[in-house]
Copies of this chain bind each other. A is one copy, B any other.
Amino acid sequence: MKTVYLDNAATTSVAPEVLEEMLPFFKEEFGNPSSFHSFGSSQMEAIEKARGQVARLLGAKCEEIFFTSGGTESDNQAIRGAVKIDSARTGIVTSAVEHPAVMETANVLEDEGNSLGIVGVNKNGELDLESLKGLVNQQTAIVSIMAANNETGVIMPLKKAAKITHEAGALFHTDAVQMVGKVPIDVHALNIDILSLSAHKLHGPKGVGAIYIKKGIKLPPILTGGHQEKGVRSGTYNTPGIVGLGKAAELALTHLNDTASKERKLRESFEKQVLESCPGSFVVADGAEYRLPGTVTIIFEGIESEAVLTLLDMQGVYASSGSACSTGSKNPSHVLYAMGIDYTLANSALRFSLSRYTTKEEIKRTVELLSKVVERLRSISPYTQ
């Protein structure tokens, strides 16, 4: 059975070019980049090449990029590090729709005594900038606002949020895991201080990511040890992973405009066809000003999303009921809740996320299957009798 993978916001396939670039570092090129001998130290060249590839994708300088084990580690370092820089500034401000790597970390730090302010969103999932203004102050260490939401695809006003943050003298961090590689981003133009990204969301390997830290900011490490990455992140270099991230970043940059335009067309066509063929369905955050090209959450009123997912799954079509990042969580989405969507509707939400490999045929097949599945479930649902 040919499968259709529409869960690219959870993770993406590794691009064949990325794996090809990684393989030598699992085979003959296995040395430790920190070693004195040429067999190890020659690998630093590959690592520095990858650093350049990531920097170019972000509009950053090479020396502003540090490799980590992934988005979660980068987010943790951003927040846990920032609250340690200045003992007079220990407050955290974040949004109500963040990924758990930010949200949970902020909550844990609040339990440990840091103040925490939560910025709300409107019914389209867009950040309430006025609320941000009211929450950030002279005690704020860091404001962390995601670049694009992992469930709705809504893109946040980073430049405006960064400006408000800087007026209060705090650091501005963005979890850009969902955005990097999907739409252009320029950290300097947007005045971002710290940015998190993950390789496996842009057709790179799992277990590797990066943190951009604007030159001049001394962000304390959360992993201490052998002083790799200028002491910003200790631990033996994951050379294959880093090389894979670099190649993935290069490919993303090459395809950036084409991918965005292709994904947008496919997603818009998908939305249109689903709304037409499935009565009682609507697109979440439909009125948002900016959304990611390839991510959409659709609510099918009166139907449990897990039932739809199961029936799609049986036919080899893979989507999501929200974030895959909260393992085994049965709670309804905090993102939809923050947008004022009630529990019952939130339980009827399905996320479809495309990639540059998604085809028109796959979208067609998904729409056809979806309309049948929704019709079938509607016919047996107690809510729709």
Contacts and interface: CB of A to CB of B under 8 A. Distances in A.
Contact of A207 (B198, B200, B241): B241
Interface string A1-28: 0010101001111100001001000110
Given A31-B318, A235-B73, A324 B12 contact: no
Within the oligomer, what is the number of copies of this chain?
Answer: 2
A313 B222 CA distance: 35
A312 to B, nearest CB: 8
B237 A3 contact: no
A384 interface: no
A72 B3 CA distance: 39
A99 B207 contact: no
Interface in A359-379: none
Among A31, A32, A104, A205, residue most surrounded by chain B Cβ atoms (within 10 Å) = A32
Contact of A222 (B222, B319, B328): B222
A36 B309 contact: yes
Interface string A220-241: 0011111110000011111111
A73 to B, nearest CB: 6
A321 interface: yes
A207 B34 contact: no
Nearest to A70: B235
Given A36-B324, A39-B3, A206-B238, A105 B27 contact: no
Contacts of A306: 36
Nearest to A77: B223
Given A37-B313, A101-B234, A223 B325 contact: no
A150 B254 CA distance: 43
A14 B30 contact: yes
Interface in A32-64: 32, 34-40
A238 to B, nearest CB: 3
A234 B108 CA distance: 13
B40 A7 contact: yes
B206 A241 contact: yes
B72 A40 contact: no
A222 B76 contact: yes
Given A11-B236, A236-B11, A40 B318 contact: yes
6 contacts: A22-B26, A35-B324, A40-B318, A70-B238, A101-B225, A206-B237
Given A101-B224, A101-B234, A206-B237, 16 more contacts: A5-B31, A7-B31, A7-B37, A14-B26, A26-B205, A31-B318, A34-B327, A36-B309, A37-B309, A37-B319, A37-B320, A70-B235, A73-B235, A102-B225, A226-B326, A241-B241
